[in-house]
Chain A
Amino acid sequence: MKGWPAHLAALALTALGLLAATFFIGRVVPIDPVLAAIGERAPPEAYRTMREAFGLDRPVFEQFLRYLWQVLRLDFGDSILTARPVARDLLRVFPATFELATVAMLLGIGFGLPLGVAAAFWHGRWPDALARGVALLGYSVPVFWLGLMGLLVFYAGLGWTGGPGRLAIWLEDDLPRVTGLMTVDAVLAGHWAALASALGHLVLPASVLGLFSAAAIARMTRAALIEQLAQDHVTAARARGIPEWRVVLRHGLRPAAAPLVNTVALSYGHLLEGSVLTEIVFAWPGLGLYLTQALLSADMNAVLGATLLVGVLFIGLNALSDHLVRRLDARSR
């Protein structure tokens, strides 16, 4: 790669490919989008008018070119399901996913990294067993089940956390929307009850999602660190009498950072797509739920807009992690 122009060109090409694939798949889906917009009992005349308004009477390739031209002007069209501009919908649903994904990611790193380090350091002893247990849990337990169990125990049973949704229902109309991030908006408004409620509602879904990231991060950290700790330079460092914690962090973890950054970026990318099942269980109005509903109704403008957003996020995160890896690992320069 040769810097930002190359990155931008790759981004544009990938976005174009993504749009084309999504668009043409959308056109072969056996759903009539006109029905979703006006219902099955609309007069035939209304059906025809709507079909023409959607441009569905034109050749598919022409439809795609028109759509591309629209997107270049940053107009993603209107969603059928919400009857609002897709861009506005995305601005509404994405902050919910972003807030959840970011907190989940921080929990994942905060829990997964130390666990992975401990597992590698005490390789074969109980911290290692714990780390492998968590990783197994994270990889094998369905998120849907874990979410419901979390709600059952910590919300309905013990009452320790807030319930589904992003805020207590009766506070939802009181908090002015600025950034769309409930915690930030609550702080901006100085509404401390709303802040407590937002945190209370965030903790459970973020922990559920965070567990899955923690599993990936712990596994990756453990594997990379075990490999590093067996290297000659680590033995040499120990022989020089360097304290053990410095040996692990500096001589073990530092070289293992590159694959870790990749893992974190990938996990974060997946979280930003919006976890459909978590969003369903926790009634969390985010991107995953929006995209799924749109897909099920052949709401193609919404599907395309949301897919493009996810694609751009992924490409952006990839570029960022490439950049970081190059700085961390001299070999990849």
Chain B
Amino acid sequence: MRAARWALILLGLTPFAAQATVPRDTLVVATQLDDLISLDPAEIFEIGGAEVAANLYRRLIGFEPGLWDRPVGDLAQIWQVEREGRRYVFVLRTDARFASGRTVNAEDVVGSWRRVLAKDKAPAAVLRSIGLSPERLSIAQGQVAIDLPEALAPGLVLAVLASTAASVIDLQAIADKPEGWLGRNSAGAGAFELAHWSPQERVTLRRNPHHPQPATMARIVLRHVAEPTTQRLMLQRGDVDLARNLGPDLMAGLGRFPDLAVAAYPKAALYYLAVNRRRPTLAEDGALAAIKSALDVPALVAATLGARGRPHAGIVPAGFLGAAEEGHAAPKPAPWPAGLTLDVRAAPPTLDLAEAIQAQLAKAGIAVAIQPGDSKTVLTRYRARRHDLVIARWAPDFADPHANAEPFSRNPDNGDAAGERTPAWRNGWVDAEAMALVEQAVREFDSERRAALYRRLQAIHRQRGPFVILAQEVEIVAMRRGLAGLVNGPLPEMLRFESVTKP
């Protein structure tokens, strides 16, 4: 009798139970959206924004999944390089249409880039890295022409034109819209259009019905779920199809669930340790050498990042032209008594890396005090050169070695008031040979010779650069078994949902 009463009480609670599952034409992704600030390609500077925009906008150039070092035409059907590499002429596809139904034309392409340059936010710096300016863009017989100030490696030019900054906007659709509208809406020719966005809550994408190859899913919902454990429970329960932020401990238990699977996607982002050469204790070469030789990087990466990182020693990520094959040297601890601080973002995996580095340096007699902080606090200190050592993460802006080679090497003005606050400047490193190599490589047409120049540059970095490149990131995604077609390349603009299919 008592059991029956309990059963009735429990039955009474069941109306609360989730009764439906995710519809078959909808993909629900549990992710962390806290870095999504603007969806305007002229303003996007964070990973979250670039990932969403990748599905809303098309660019002239793109990549075939898996072949991230070989640019191919996206909106451009064919192109020609003229005047010894100073002029590029692109012929556009005729079947590409915006979500409004209008066909993409050369005015949209040139106008979108001019808009980015005029707004002069972070994406403008990407376009300017190949010398683009409004007057260097023109339209000739419906074709897009670019006249560069000097001949540059074609791989670089095309990689920049494949980046988020080069997204093509439906200029007619935004003509009568107020300033800032595009930050919260979309007007692109991508496979999806923006249906809804509540900051730090969710983003809903709706299929672009005018796309020549309509997306398989009618709807993509990106749900902000800050807590990884919660992400996992939602995946387990079937409320989401894909979870992007599970840590190694949460991944480990997934084997018990036969309907869940795990996939690894190598990313271009690097974790590195930087040494501020402006500090009196660190200005001597002996200090830098002692720190570099004390670290057993493969061991510390394996112990901290696990499957989420691969040890990587060069500033050019693996998979990019000119990535060096040499790994980290075996540790040879040389005593260097010094007391240093290590700034780090107080969250895994950077905090784990910091603790491992602290332990290894201690063995060499280098005492390091960890200074944990929020990511913005650490960045503010780093940009003000107030650190001794810092662990940072760097993701290239486009798929070309120059995207890393320049910021890590270029420091034309080492003064405190300098405008260019590259990682090289932040660590007070000035190396004329490294800077000259960057300039030479960017003008090298032959990709073999160009690759060799980047390898030489990385040898200099290993020998005397203020950075210890630790690892290249690997994104581990947990998903429903049988889910296929997700494209998740090394850069944020290579995350695509258009071909996803669900079991």
In the assembled complex, B102 has its CB within 8 A of some CB on chain A: no
The reply to whether A43 and B225 contact each other, CB–CB distance below 8 Å, is no
Residues in chain B near residue A42, CB distance under 8 A: 45, 121-122, 125
Known A42-B122, A46-B120, A83-B183: A170·B221 in contact at CB below 8 Å: yes
The reply to whether B376 and A297 contact each other, CB–CB distance below 8 Å, is yes
Give min CB distance, A163 to chain B, whole Å.
5
In the assembled complex, B355 has its CB within 8 A of some CB on chain A: no
In the assembled complex, A227 has its CB within 8 A of some CB on chain B: no
Bound-state CA distance A39–B46 (Å) is 7
Interface stretch (choices B14-22, B76-84, B268-276, B458-466) = B14-22
Bound-state CA distance A280–B38 (Å) is 23
The reply to whether B195 and A82 contact each other, CB–CB distance below 8 Å, is no
Contact of A283 among B23, B184, B223, B421 (CB under 8 A): B223
In the assembled complex, B150 has its CB within 8 A of some CB on chain A: no
Q: A29-49 CB contact bits vs B (8 Å, 1 = yes)? A: 111100111111111111001
The reply to whether A32 and B383 contact each other, CB–CB distance below 8 Å, is yes
CB proximity to B under 8 Å, residues A32-83 = 32, 35-46, 49, 80-83
Bound-state CA distance A152–B233 (Å) is 7
Residues in chain A near residue B37, CB distance under 8 A: 37, 80-83
Bound-state CA distance A199–B43 (Å) is 39
The reply to whether A40 and B196 contact each other, CB–CB distance below 8 Å, is no
The reply to whether B17 and A159 contact each other, CB–CB distance below 8 Å, is yes
The reply to whether A282 and B196 contact each other, CB–CB distance below 8 Å, is no
Bound-state CA distance A170–B238 (Å) is 12
The reply to whether B15 and A92 contact each other, CB–CB distance below 8 Å, is no
Bound-state CA distance A129–B479 (Å) is 46
In the assembled complex, A329 has its CB within 8 A of some CB on chain B: no
Name the residue on B nearest A37 (C-beta): B37
In the assembled complex, B380 has its CB within 8 A of some CB on chain A: yes
Residues in chain B near residue A165, CB distance under 8 A: 223, 225
The reply to whether B34 and A293 contact each other, CB–CB distance below 8 Å, is yes
The reply to whether B198 and A92 contact each other, CB–CB distance below 8 Å, is yes
In the assembled complex, B481 has its CB within 8 A of some CB on chain A: no
Give min CB distance, B28 to chain A, whole Å.
5
In the assembled complex, B285 has its CB within 8 A of some CB on chain A: no
Give min CB distance, B44 to chain A, whole Å.
9
The reply to whether A155 and B237 contact each other, CB–CB distance below 8 Å, is yes
Q: B102-133 CB contact bits vs A (8 Å, 1 = yes)? A: 00000000000000000011101100100000
In the assembled complex, A203 has its CB within 8 A of some CB on chain B: yes
Q: What is the total number of residues of chain B having a CB less than 8 Å from a CB of chain A?
A: 64
Give min CB distance, B270 to chain A, whole Å.
15
Bound-state CA distance A216–B264 (Å) is 48
Give min CB distance, A192 to chain B, whole Å.
11
In the assembled complex, B213 has its CB within 8 A of some CB on chain A: no
Q: A261-298 CB contact bits vs B (8 Å, 1 = yes)? A: 00000000000000000001111010001100100111
The reply to whether B224 and A38 contact each other, CB–CB distance below 8 Å, is no
Give min CB distance, B105 to chain A, whole Å.
29
In the assembled complex, B485 has its CB within 8 A of some CB on chain A: no
Give min CB distance, B170 to chain A, whole Å.
21
Bound-state CA distance A169–B203 (Å) is 11
The reply to whether B237 and A280 contact each other, CB–CB distance below 8 Å, is no
Bound-state CA distance A32–B230 (Å) is 31
The reply to whether A30 and B200 contact each other, CB–CB distance below 8 Å, is no
The reply to whether A46 and B122 contact each other, CB–CB distance below 8 Å, is yes
Bound-state CA distance A226–B288 (Å) is 70
CB proximity to B under 8 Å, residues A161-184 = 161-165, 168-170, 172-173
The reply to whether A283 and B383 contact each other, CB–CB distance below 8 Å, is no
The reply to whether B120 and A148 contact each other, CB–CB distance below 8 Å, is no
Q: B180-205 CB contact bits vs A (8 Å, 1 = yes)? A: 10011000000000011011111010
Residues in chain B near residue A322, CB distance under 8 A: none
Give min CB distance, B335 to chain A, whole Å.
33
Name the residue on A nearest B234 (C-beta): A163
Residues in chain B near residue A43, CB distance under 8 A: 120-122, 124-125, 128, 419
Residues in chain B near residue A161, CB distance under 8 A: 13, 16-18
Residues in chain B near residue A199, CB distance under 8 A: 16
CB proximity to A under 8 Å, residues B409-456 = 419-421
Give min CB distance, A283 to chain B, whole Å.
5
Known A46-B122, A168-B239: A83·B38 in contact at CB below 8 Å: yes
Other contacts beyond A44-B420, A84-B199, A162-B17: 13, CB < 8 A: A38-B43, A40-B421, A42-B122, A43-B128, A83-B180, A83-B184, A162-B16, A164-B225, A165-B223, A169-B28, A173-B196, A283-B224, A296-B375
26 sample A-B contacts, Cβ–Cβ < 8 Å, listed by A number? A37-B37, A38-B45, A38-B121, A39-B45, A40-B379, A41-B45, A43-B125, A44-B419, A44-B421, A46-B122, A81-B34, A82-B200, A84-B199, A92-B198, A148-B227, A148-B229, A163-B233, A169-B28, A169-B202, A169-B221, A169-B223, A170-B22, A173-B204, A281-B230, A285-B224, A297-B376
- Pairs of residues from A and B, 3 with the lowest C-beta to C-beta distance, nearest first: A39-B45, A44-B419, A82-B199
